[in-house]
Amino acid sequence: AQTRRRGWERTCNLTMIRSIFLICLLAAQHAETFSPSLSPTAWRVVPRSSPQCLRVTMSQRESVDVGRRDMAMKTMLLIPTMVFGWSKVSHAESTTAPTAPVDAFASIEYSDVDNGFSLQLPTRYFKSKRGSKTGTLFVAGDLKTAEILSVQKLSIEQLLSDVGVLPTGDLSTWPAIGSPLKVAELLASTRDGDAKQQNGLPSKVDPSSVKSDKKTLQFLMLTPIRASKLEDTTPVTRVTAVRAALLPEEKQALVVWGSALEEEWKSEASKGLREA
DSSP for the chain reads -HHHHHHHHHHHHHHHHHHHHHHHHHHHHTHHHHSPPPPGGG-----TT-HHHHHHHHHHHHHHHHHHHHHHHHHHHHHHHHHHHHHHHHHHHHHPPPPPPP-TT-EEEEEETTTTEEEEEETTSEEEE---SSEEEEEEEETTTTEEEEEEEEEHHHHHHTTT----S--SSHHHH--HHHHHHHHHHHHHHHH--TTB---EE-GGG-EE-SSEEEEEEEEEEPPPTTTTPPPEEEEEEEEEEEETTTTEEEEEEEEEEHHHHHSGGGHHHHH-
Domain limit, last residue, from 95, 125, 156: 95
Please tell me whether residues 121 and 254 are part of one structural domain. Answer: yes
For residue range 231-252, list pLDDT tens digits in order. 556 778 999 999 999 999 999 9
Q: How many domains does the chain have?
A: 2
At 167 the pLDDT is 82
**Is 102 a member of any domain?**
no
For residue range 61-83, list pLDDT tens digits in order. 444 444 555 554 454 544 444 44
Please tell me whether residues 199 and 165 are part of one structural domain. Answer: yes
Most confident of 92-96, 105-109, 225-229: 105-109
Domain limit, last residue, from 45, 62, 95: 95
Residue 165 confidence (pLDDT) above 70? yes
Structural domain including 201 reads: 107-275
**Is 101 a member of any domain?**
no
Enter the pTM of the model: 0.59
Most confident of 22-36, 126-140, 227-241, 254-268: 254-268
